[in-house]
Chain A
Amino acid sequence: MTAFAMNDDHDNPYALLGDDHDDGHRWAFGTGFTDPLEGIDTTVPAGLDAGALARYCLALGDDALIYSHRLQEWVTHMPELEEETAIANIALDLLGQARMLLARAGGILGQTEDQLAFFRAEKDFRNVRLAEHADADFAELVGRLLIFSAWRLALFAELSAAPDPVLAAIAAKGVNELTYHRDYAAQWVVRLGDGTEESHDRMQRALGTLWPLTGELFRPDADAVASADPGAVTVPAFMGVIDTVLAAAGLERPDAVSPPAVAGRTGRDGVHTEAMGYILAELQSVARANPDATW
């Protein structure tokens, strides 16, 4: 494939940025080619329950996969072009986390990341219901992201010391990304809460809609304890972050009650909201329509 030779005889400011830009490989935001799992032994450590580890990685991976899907739906709908880049960044980061986590689970279960993503039935997906929620407006977008990223960041900070080295490496990389996500969401929640009257009302309403989905995040998880023992992501610590943001935003933390489990089961048990079927119908459609294809 021939490429035209480009004229080099004019000042190119990017040439001054060092060789990071000229390696010819890096083509996407947030998906640089340094492999976070390089040099890490992928054998499941002795004494660790491999089944529980796989289920837990699946859970964390599904959270990211489904959440990223909802963010991808916002591409070309963002309120300003700069926000398009920002939201695509976040969606890419979460997709990257999903891939690594599904690969870790898949390595134990004998399946590829794509088999898990595209050929599992809804009841076998382990994401929390918060991840499935379709954001009705920008206020819900940033409010939900604040809740999700604050929780996931605190969790990943703990998991950076997980006994499984692969999960620990994934979590360590995720901490940097989630810090950025939480910061982005927090800044926007403050701007909207303390912006115009309309933005304040929308932001408060969004919190009211989203808050019930928070309870599920702190349900005890046997697989988590068995495989990673992440120390409690304590509710008070999470609330501390949320309350700091809400105070700066001039918003009230809602008093809402979490929706109950269905027959004692929630997202982690494969029992989702009605939105999940539509998400998977779309996400899996092309892969399932071409089961013998190579992509």
Chain B
Amino acid sequence: MTVASEPDLRAHFDETIAAQRRIEPRDWMPDKYRATMIRQIAQHAHSEIIGMQPEGNWITRAPSLRRKAILLAKVQDEAGHGMYLYSAAETLGADRADLTGKLISGRQKYSSIFNYPTLTYADVGVIGWLVDGAAICNQVPLCRSSYGPYARAMIRICKEESFHQRQGYELLLTMMRGSQAQREMVQDATNRFWWPSLMMFGPPDDASPNTEQSMAWGIKRHTNDELRQRFVDMTVPQAEKLGVTLPDPELRWNDERGHYDFGAVDWDELKAVIAGNGPCNAQRIARRKAAHDDGAWVREAAIAHARKNENHDPERTGLTLAVTRD
């Protein structure tokens, strides 16, 4: 193809990054950039797909038809987000079936937050408010990712995710203005999801060795701690408006810093959850695996059928059914 030398290609790549332009699928890129990008995008995709489970848990029990429709649509959006992201990963040479295998075998991860159980309908609202809120904090900067297909997928996802957060918050507002039992439900859900939401931003900066290279390559735009702080600053006023207490006695505004101070995150808990020992890890993977395994005969049948019809005139094999009143 190109006769340029690797140092030239590398220089061109570095210059593209430095000029804040996009790297596109057929561009030369360092192997490590490609591998890091595939892993990040894939784990993001896995998070969307696994994330369907804790929320999907409540669709059949949604307490009003409107809430049911909202939740079902949200979970459907998440499937779509997962697919947009797998699609972006595939432009880098990854294969979706292979990525699915890595998810199921535990070689690739997904966001730690989805390893917590959803125990009441208030959890649905709190996930929208806190979990989608944290995801948005992480994701908006990724709209400027150096990798073109990822950035474009993120733009679409961010738009939809902002609706999800609004829906979750609106549910909580409604519940906080409802019955005493509902208010208690919201406070209880908040108590269970606050710290895991902070953990979504990953380990502290001094325990994140890859951050520097990722920032240099435009894979990451802000550090974990920066985003975590931003999330806290945004969320505290939202909690006040709701009338819930965030379960951190050390949370207070610091005038000097211009930010909220907050308590210590339990990093051991995050480590345990990432290592596979959270409350729901086994169950989440088992469900994904079961769907995949149980579906094998269906996928095979579709391929077999397609092969039988490959050489036929599509006009002739199309199945046409009348719609009219006959």
Binding site for B on A (CB under 8 A): 1-4, 6-7, 10, 12-14, 27-29, 31, 69, 72-73, 75-82, 84-85, 88-89, 91-92, 95-96, 98-99, 102, 113-114, 117-118, 137-138, 153-154, 157-158, 175, 179, 182-183, 186-187, 190-192, 194-196, 198-199, 202, 231, 237, 241, 244-245, 248, 282-283, 285-287, 290, 292-295
Contact = CB atoms under 8 A, between A and B. Distances in A.
B162 A28 contact: no
Interface of B: 22, 49, 52-53, 56, 59-70, 72-77, 79-80, 82-83, 86, 121, 136-137, 140-141, 143-144, 151-152, 155-156, 158, 160, 162-167, 169, 171, 174-175, 177-179, 181-182, 234, 238, 287-288, 290-292, 294-302, 304-305, 308, 319, 321-326
Contact of B299 (A79, A113, A286): A79
B319 A29 contact: no
B297 A198 contact: yes
Contacts, number: 205
Nearest to A192: B301
B59 A113 contact: no
Contact of B325 (A75, A91, A113, A157): A157
Contacts of B175: 293-295
Shortest 3 CB-CB contacts between residues of A and residues of B: A79-B295, A28-B73, A195-B301
A290 B295 contact: no
Contacts of A89: 76
B64 A295 contact: yes
B68 A118 contact: no
A12 B152 contact: yes
A196 B165 CA distance: 44
B59 A3 contact: no
Nearest to A73: B60
Contacts of A237: 326
Contacts of B156: 14
A113 B325 CA distance: 30
A186 B321 contact: yes
Contacts of B151: 10
Contacts of A85: 76, 79-80, 83
A293 B179 contact: yes
A256 B93 CA distance: 51
B152 A6 contact: no
Contacts of B65: 95, 98-99, 102, 113-114, 117
17 contacts: A4-B140, A7-B143, A27-B77, A27-B164, A27-B167, A75-B75, A77-B290, A82-B83, A91-B72, A95-B65, A138-B298, A194-B308, A199-B304, A283-B60, A293-B178, A294-B177, A295-B171
Nearest to B165: A1
Given A157-B323, A286-B61, A295-B63, A31 B69 contact: yes
Given A28-B69, A244-B321, A292 B294 contact: no
A116 to B, nearest CB: 9
Contacts of B76: 28-29, 75, 84-85, 88-89, 92
Contacts of B69: 28, 31, 92, 95-96, 99
B136 A285 contact: no
A84 B73 contact: no
Contacts of B56: 75-76
A282 B166 CA distance: 27
B323 A282 contact: no
A110 to B, nearest CB: 18
Contact of B155 (A12, A29, A31, A73): A12
A89 B75 CA distance: 11
B305 A191 contact: yes
Contacts of A244: 319, 321
Given A95-B72, A191-B301, A290 B63 contact: yes
Contacts of B288: 76
Contacts of A76: 52-53, 56, 287-288, 291
Contact of A77 (B238, B291, B301, B319): B291
A198 to B, nearest CB: 5
Contacts of A158: 325
A81 B49 contact: yes
Question: Chain B CB within 10 Å — which of A81, A84, A191 has the most?
Answer: A81
A285 B253 CA distance: 41
Tell me which of A85, A102, A245, A293 has the highest count of chain B C-beta atoms within 10 A of its own C-beta.
Answer: A293
A199 B301 contact: yes
B72 A191 contact: no
A231 B80 contact: no
Contacts of A69: 60
A81 B83 CA distance: 7
Interface centre among B156, B178, B297 (most CB of A within 10 A): B297
A1 B235 CA distance: 9
A261 B216 CA distance: 72
Contacts of A187: 319
Contacts of A2: 234
